[in-house]
Amino acid sequence: MSAMSDTGTHFRTETDSDNIVWLHFDKAGSGTNTFSTEALHELDQQLQSIAARCPRGLVFLSDKPNGFIAGADIESFTRIETEAQALDFLQLGQSVFNRLATFTVPTVALIHGFCLGGGTELALACRYRVARDDPGTRLGLPEVRLGIHPGWGGSARLTPLVGGLKAMDLMLTGRTLAGRQAKRIGLVDRVVPERHLRTAARRLILEAPAAARPGLIDRLSNSSIARPLLAEVMRRQVAKRAPRAHYPAPYALIDIWRNHANDTGAMLEAEAQSVARLINDPTARNLIHVFFLQEQLKGLGRDSDYKPKFVHVVGAGTMGGDIASWCALRGFQVSLQDQAPERIAPAMQRAHALFKRKLKKPREIQAAMDRLLPDHKGIGVARADIVIEAIFEDAEVKRGLYRELEPRMKNDAILATNTSSIPLEELAESLSRPGQLVGLHFFNPVAKMQLVEVVNGASTAAEVSARALAFTRQIDRLPLPVTSTPGFMVNRILMPYLMEAVTLESEGVAANLIDQAATDFGMPMGPVELADTVGLDICLHVAQVLASHFNAKIPERLQQLVADGRLGRKSGRGFYEYRKGKAVKPKISGSDAQLEEISDRLMLRLLNEAVSCVREQVVGSDDLLDAGMIFGTGFAPFRGGPMHYIRSTGPAALQARLQQFTSRYGERYTADPGWESLFNAQGD
Ligand code: NAI
């Protein structure tokens, strides 16, 4: 088709016999298209030279198999140090996209795979958008997740295109849409299968239909009468998820829209100014740091060529049942064993509900059900590449099971335990090939919690550990390598914080105040409600294991509640009463000073334990610890993780507070020796 072609570093053009220019983005040295300063400059030149050629139209497309454009190059955000530098980067992007938006000939964005942030903003600068019709095509403006909002014309162009309500919903939640959903709200003009993509683009150029306009109600939502009212509703909705003090970006975006909608020039200007301010704010800096932490975990196991097919899970309870269905969802052939068929049946029902929720299409749901085999006799053991054990938390029972399993397993099969607290060395005793044993510690609920601790025992073979990392990525979870010390990492750091909450409650502090202090700090759920949700029996068990190793005391109150059968949410009563699964919280308020004291008491115990884990090298680095706590417990992401928080607050101030608390509350606040090396690193 190419009559003429022109190749640059990141872009190349072809001109076809209809004089349509096809502008291909294929970022050099990267598997993904993102906009760096350099790529933007090259695009600008390309657009100038295309405009000078007076083509019939322009189609913008990506040569990357994984998608259209992932957005701005986030790496370049980290090099921005001042508001002025940020503004330069924003204005550069805006001027390039403005050039595209003012083309007099028709322009089309041809979208496949992900089209996010700056990718969507470029697409919005085109007159038409065509998206591939498949589940892998996702469009969105997820900037709020990085503590900013669209700044390359995203809000200025999306709000008039689809109406204020729909546009703001997309930008404030940061959620992404498949092609058909995007068509429904008017974000794209055509959704077609792969084979029709180019034809659809060509027809739009040749026929040049009138550009899409939103319906009356959508237009009205942008009117000056509606905006102040809608903005107030939006603020209230956002406040439920993201308090203004911790997450300023969505509020800034609402203000921009409220004040400037319908005035593209003013909105572009306000967008850029606002993002330039936000990007230097600690929230955005920390959320960008968290983005890279996630990338780091995603990169683990990437080099492995391990390709397991069959997974056998023993134990169809809360965890085993959900691990099995998750693996089947991700395409593995899974057999699920328990002591009797009736123990497996509830897990199969839960699996069906999960597949229905995630897959929607009956054929795909059926295929996933076909991949998951109830297997109470354990026939699947012999063919399994990975056997995951998730039976009762009892070392002797687990060892007994391993004695039965090992002789029937393939020689190179991995044996993975989901134990939450038993050191692997204790479990490996019964094995003739202890090198094959590794921990895969999932968190509850499996479908929601992204983290899996990959636990390395003293005898775990390096290859087995590497394979466990690779497998964890293959089921789309984030692996965190940890050593086999009691409680591993996440529970060990979380437990002192939970126990302090129990201690506070037994001192007479209202449970809801304790929870409020933690959520004010930025935790997704308070520790009292978290303990109730995990189950007080499970908390007690993990606390006992940890207490025996760390010589810690378990609050009597916890033991009493468990003895009384008050196990938390699952039994309808724990620290709180539960009605229809919701905690009934009394309305007791506290002074700022009281809340601060509670928050410090909780967080200092968590931070002290984090320092201890780094010192003992339970994890490989401060960053990995931060990633584990954010993705395993939801630790306030805008604070960048416990170690990042310690460094940004200043270890000296925190240690002084620990000393104060040691004299006030006792030995449990004694600063871990690891704080010393933090001072050295800071030069304190
Ligand atoms: P559960 O009590 O819900 O399920 C255990 C299942 O194992 C039961 O269905 C039982 O019939 C079965 N089982 C026991 N012995 C068996 C044997 N010899 N052969 C076959 N099946 C057997 O327990 P849950 O909560 O699922 O815990 C399982 C493991 O996961 C434990 O090691 C626990 O520490 C760990 N874990 C639990 C978490 C939680 O939040 N519940 C979180 C992370 C790990």
Partners of residue 417 on adjacent β-strands: 389, 439
Q: What pLDDT score does 312 carry?
A: 98
Which atom of ligand 1 is found nearest the CA of 398?
18
* Structural element, H or E, at residue 48: helix 37-52
pLDDT tens profile 266-324: 999 999 999 999 999 999 999 999 999 999 999 998 889 999 999 999 999 999 999 99
Q: What tokens does 2 get?
A: 């190419």
Mean pLDDT, residues 561-570: 96
**Protein residue whose Cα sits closest to atom 39 of ligand 1:** 444
Q: What pLDDT score does 681 carry?
A: 64
Q: What pLDDT score does 437 carry?
A: 98
Helices then strands, each counted (H, E), the chain: 29, 23
Residues with CB under 6 A from ligand 1: 314-320, 337-339, 343, 390-393, 397, 401, 418-420, 442, 444, 534, 538
Q: What pLDDT score does 4 carry?
A: 62
pTM score, two decimals? 0.91
Q: What pLDDT score does 683 carry?
A: 46
Instruction: Spell out the residues 6+ positions from residue 88 whose beta carbon is closer than 8 angstroms to its own.
Output: none
Residue 106, phi then psi, degrees to nearest 5? -60, 145
DSSP code of 61?
E
Neighbours of 225 (CB within 10 A): 8
Burial class (CB in 10 A: 0-12, 13-18, 19+), 115: buried
Mean pLDDT, residues 563-572: 96
Q: What tokens does 557 get?
A: 């109150």
Superfamily grouping for domain 11-280: 2-enoyl-CoA Hydratase; Chain A, domain 1 (3.90.226.10)
d(CA 262, CA 373): 57
Q: How far is ligand 1, taken at its centre, from the CA of residue 391, in Å? A: 3
By DSSP bridging, strand 372-374 and strand 386-389 are: unpaired
* Structural element, H or E, at residue 672: none
Mean pLDDT, residues 58-80: 95
Question: What is the percentage of the chain residues whose pLDDT exceeds 70?
Answer: 99
Q: Is the pLDDT of residue 475 over 50?
A: yes
Neighbours of 221 (CB within 10 A): 21
d(CA 382, CA 466): 22
Q: Helix (H, G, I), strand (E, B), or coil: what is residue 227?
A: helix
Of 24, 289, 312, 441, the active-site residue reads: 441
Q: Is the pLDDT of residue 89 over 50?
A: yes
Average pLDDT, the chain: 95
Instruction: Using the Cα atoms of residue 466, residue 330, residue 311 and residue 441 in order, give the sign of their dihedral.
Output: positive
Q: How far is ligand 1, taken at its centre, from the CA of residue 316, in Å? A: 7
Closest by CA to 392, choosing from 486, 335, 315, is 315
Through-space distance between the first and last CA atoms of the chain, rounded to whole angstroms:
66
CATH of domain 491-617+650-682: 1.10.1040.50
* Structural element, H or E, at residue 234: helix 226-241
DSSP string, 354-381: HHHHHH-SHHHHHHHHHHEEE-TT-GGG
Q: Helix (H, G, I), strand (E, B), or coil: what is residue 140?
A: strand
Q: How far is ligand 1, taken at its centre, from the CA of residue 323, in Å? A: 11
Confidence of residue 684 (pLDDT cuts 50, 70, 90): very low
DSSP code of 142?
G
CATH 3.40.50.10680 corresponds to the domain 310-485: no
Q: Is the pLDDT of residue 587 over 50?
A: yes
**Protein residue whose Cα sits closest to atom 44 of ligand 1:** 420
Q: Is the pLDDT of residue 682 over 70?
A: no
Tell me if residue 549 is catalytic: no
Q: How far is ligand 1, taken at its centre, from the CA of residue 636, in Å? A: 30
Q: Helix (H, G, I), strand (E, B), or coil: what is residue 385?
A: coil
pLDDT tens profile 136-188: 999 999 999 999 999 999 999 999 999 999 999 999 999 999 999 999 999 99
Closest by CA to 106, choosing from 209, 202, 205, is 205
pLDDT tens profile 27-55: 999 999 999 999 999 999 999 999 999 99
pLDDT tens profile 357-369: 999 889 999 999 9
Q: What pLDDT score does 678 carry?
A: 87
pLDDT tens profile 390-442: 999 999 999 999 999 999 999 999 999 999 989 999 999 999 999 999 999 99
With the most atoms of ligand 1 within 8 angstroms of its CB, the residue from 325, 336, 392 to mutate is 392
Q: Where are the domains of the chain?
A: 11-280, 310-485, 491-617+650-682
The alpha-helical segments, DSSP class H, found in 279-340 are 282-299, 318-329
